[in-house]
Structure 1
Amino acid sequence: MTVISDQEIADFSADFNTNSKNQVASRAARRSGLLEASFNDRVSERLNHVFSTELDVGDVTDQKHSGRCWEFATLNVLRHYFGKQNKVKDFTFSQAYNFFWDKIERANAFYDAMIRLADKPLNDREVQSWLAFAGEDGGLWSMAINLVKKYGVVPSYAMPESFNSNNTTGLIDSLARKERKDAIALRKLVSEGSSQDELEKAKKHFLNEVYRMVSVALGEPPKKFDLEYRDDDKKYHLERDLTPREFVQKYFKDFKFDDYVVLSNCPNHEFNKLYHMPLYDNVDGGDQIKFLNVPIEYLAQAAVAQLKSGDAVIFGNDVLKQMERKTGYLDTELYQTDKLFGVDTKMSKADRLATGEGFATHDMTLVGVDEDHGHIRKWKVENSWGDKYGHKGFYEMSQPWFEDYVYDVVVRKEFLTDEQVKLAEGPAIDLKPWDNIG
């Protein structure tokens, strides 16, 4: 390591003061903050609220202080489908219900992994990945669908939001601490030569405790409910004593869950390959969490085609990059901090992924697109942060932002090429838990 000399410090200061614009930029940044000082209000010229293709959807939802965007986005797609089929635009599903079962299923997957990896040291990279993942509330479309397939869904009134579903920090912190302690106990049992029956007994005991914790925090999920609503024509509907699974079987019988594919754009991995993320396999016996990695233009093409068919599109993205909540703008030229600093921090998407600068932090839903003779101008985005941000909760996203910060879209197979369909139905390459695939 080399020491920074006094002369170098003097040179840095002299260089800074050579250009008077640096002092102007510094005063503006110190007064109003870096982002406000570099805000480019001209993006409003291209991010208006008019779209050539736009779905008729109801009000937005609000995930509050939780990492459940993936469940909100998934259930938004399902509620739009239910609304269209039954002419009830603002019907909503309970995120708390599916979140409950996510905590149970994920604990089960964690305990299985700890038993399977018990012969590896605690500082093993795979073991550490699982320990870091304990209790987490983030997830993906395929994980949410696994839960819907196994446990069904319920209306929001059947299991409403509570303090702990809206603010998940306390629950996930408690679950993470418990699961990590249980991991030590399971590893000890394995090292002592315990039988499979003894390990299963211990795991069942731990899962019972997890069930108790989640029930205290969220309440037990309903076993049956009455489906009751008034449609957009003011006609009243009532169906008594439905189970959550019966609800899905009856009202989503034509929704082909298995026809959906996650198309990703992660240029730090080889394109036209199907990848599997074992760390995210949340339901034992459920579908594996897989994605097909392709160039970005295929994500845009498939998303446009699905929107034009009348269906919304879930997409994973790095929402905190070049986004303003107040306006709901998502644009690569929104904050011009490089010009403020006089530096160049532009990186390729592959380099951002490889260095940890880029990764998906949020799931949202595409509900509109604006095209001019096939050229995509912007997208309409349904977020799950309530209606106080953006345009009544909807955001406007430029196509350059889509190309830079969108990492996956969930689309039906009919909007893929024949070769992509074959790849999506073929064998997948297992990824390591620490691989950054957006």
Structure 2
Amino acid sequence: MGANESKIPDAVITAKLAERLRSMELENQRRSPSLDEKDYVYVGEQPALSTLRAGSSDVSIDAAEDWQKELLADPKNRLALAALSSNSLTNILTSRAATIADTQTFNIKIPFEGTPVTNQRSSGRCWLFASTNVFRVALMQKYKLKEFELSQAYLFFWDKLEKANYMLENILDTVDEPLDSRLVQELLSSPVGDGGQWDMVANLVSKYGLVPQSLYPDSYNAQNSSAMGRLLTTKLREDALCLRTMAKSKNPATRSSLPATKEKMLREVHLILTLMLGPPPSPNKKFTWQFYDRDGAFTSVELSPVDFAAQLSKPNVVRALGGTDVSRLFSLVNDPRHEYLRLLTVERLGNVYGGRPITYVNVDMPTMKAACVAMIKRGLPVFFGCDVGKSSDSDMGIMDTELYDYGLGFNISLGMSKAERLMARESAMTHAMVLTAVHVVDGKSVRWRVENSWSKERGTEGYFVMTDKWMDEFVYQAVVDPAFVSEEVNKVLKQEPKALPLWDPLGALA
């Protein structure tokens, strides 16, 4: 109790800090007016960079001490020091106006949101949760279910096995590349990471199908995947070195044994996955799924995982989704580094070797947002990929570029464009979620409702709110139906894709 009494109230700290920081900003502007490059006039040749840098290549201890002395001479700065050094930065700089404005109210919303809110726990499976949260809506309507989840662990199992094979095949494809080349090092960096992309989900569902979660629930290692990931990564790196050595051998018998050796390696990966995730249902053998529908009626379904997934393209299910066949959905991206209306791909990025390649139709944000609004109006959830860690609060469930005022807090300007953030590796697609509602005023989207997979304890019962400006800056992908974009955009799918290197930011897996 005594400690609480002696503590300065947060509201007082925040108010005085804001007052002091604003005065510092004005003082700094008075002392150091901004100068653009155009303000300098050079006569003759411009000075060499080495001349401009003379005397400024190291950190001056004397200057640092002077800066500190001047800073701490002001009692208001000492108050700021007490606040910022003893409290969370985000708590001090959070905009109250933003938290009030970012409400969970929307005038366009899909009529049926899947339940329950899902929880990927300590794993990087967001793309599997987001995609299955899209798929489940049609299945819940078909079977009249109140709550339902598809097994994310089932797809996770087969994705890991396919990624292991994909990595080993790419290692064999690149044996003529030096081991320390950027390409080979990139292949070795994260061979079986948890992340993925929409086209990778499409590959898995096409080959292995889907199963209800009740038939293949999460194991401990599905929910806590890091230890399994480290083990598989170490094993596959060792296997990669072995395959490269064998492929370069001058002994014909050694080279001819490559297929058998690789198969043995995959079998060992399969063993690890089976013991840590549990043996999955066979993709082509029937399972029995029994449940009560929302009216209390008992139902028993016998289908193979492949046939269960094929229902998503059946006419009655397509009608339930407003005429959308989920197998036809494709990815729009917004990458301002590249020309719009261009088909993009990333070399050697995927999971199923020889399967559907990862492709993106690059469009401007108005095109992407218009497609998302049209999907939501039709009652369809939208899978999207973003950089979730920027200007967001996971506890409040707010994604807003105005959420934190770093300029006020530190008198700095953080003004990179979306293209610059990609070029500087400041931003990339890090997380996949689902759009279920949008608020539109005078024909313009204002904020969006986001279904996350971080449990109902985050945000508002598991749902986040995203401002339209945040979407402009940090959303990179939306998966849409061809019917909701123009013929011009659809034609882009027929282009020969522009191939980006594996290490490009668009190669990041959500």
Asked if TM exceeds 0.5, the reply is yes
The equivalent of 2:191 in structure 1 is 134
Amino acid of the structure 1 residue aligned with 2:67 = F
Task: Tell me, yes or no, if structure 1 residue 246 matches structure 2 residue 286.
Answer: no
Name the counterpart of 1:376: 445
1:53 corresponds, among 108, 119, 127, to: 108
Measure, in 2, the Cα distance between the counterparts of 1:72 and 1:410: 14
- The alignment status of 1:198 with 2:279, answered yes or no, reads no
Report how far residue 77 of structure 1 moved. 0.3
Aligned to 2:482: 413
Q: Indicate whether 1:83 and 2:140 are aligned.
A: yes
- For residues 407 and 74 of structure 2, the distance between their equivalents in structure 1, rounded to whole angstroms, comes to 16
Aligned to 1:153: 210
Higher-Rg member (1/2): 2
Q: Which amino acid aligns with 1:132?
A: S
Change (3 A) 1:423 1:21: farther
User: 1:425 Cα deviation (Å)?
Assistant: 2.6
Q: More displaced, 231-240 or 385-394? A: 231-240
- 2: CA distance between counterparts of 1:306 and 1:19? 56
- Count of residues in correspondence between the two structures: 437
Matched, 1:94 2:151: yes
**2:85 counterpart residue number:** 30
Q: Please give the alpha-carbon distance, in whole angstroms, between the structure 2 residues aligned to 1:50 and 1:351.
A: 33
> What is the alpha-carbon distance in structure 2 between the residues aligned to residue 302 and residue 26 of structure 1?
47
Provide closer, same or farther for how the CA distance between residues 276 and 359 of structure 1 changes in structure 2, counting only shifts above 3 A: same
Unaligned 5+ segments in structure 2 are: 1-55, 319-324
**Shift in alpha-carbon separation, 1:22–1:357, aligned structure 2, 3 A:** farther
The answer for the alignment partner of 1:230 in structure 2 is 292
* Distance 1:21-1:346 versus aligned 2 partners, 3 A rule: farther
For residues 308 and 260 of structure 1, what CA distance do their matches in structure 2 show?
Answer: 17
Measured in 2, the distance between the counterparts of 1:94 and 1:367 equals 21
Report which stretch shifted further, 45-54 or 209-218.
45-54
TM-score, scaled to structure 2: 0.83
Q: Which has the higher contact order (CA 8 A, sep 6+)?
A: 1
Given candidates 33, 36, 39, the residue that maps to 2:94 is 39
Is the Cα–Cα contact under 8 Å of residues 135 and 172 in structure 1 kept in the other structure? Answer: yes
Shift of 1:197: 4.3
Which deviates further from its counterpart, 388-397 or 258-267? 258-267
Alignment of 1:247-396 (within 5 A): 247-250=308-311, 252-254=313-315, 256-396=325-465
C-alpha displacement at 1:429, in angstroms? 1.3
Q: How far did residue 210 of structure 1 move?
A: 0.5
**Structure 1 residue runs of 4+, over 6 Å off?**
none
- What is the alpha-carbon distance in structure 2 between the residues aligned to residue 68 and residue 154 of structure 1? 17
Tell me whether 1:215 sits opposite 2:274 in the alignment: yes
Structure 1 residue ranges without an equivalent (≥5): none
State TM-score, norm by structure 1: 0.96
Aligned AA (1:62)? N
Task: Tell me which of 63, 66, 71 is aligned to 1:8.
Answer: 63
Amino acid at match of 1:253: K
Identity across the alignment (%)? 34
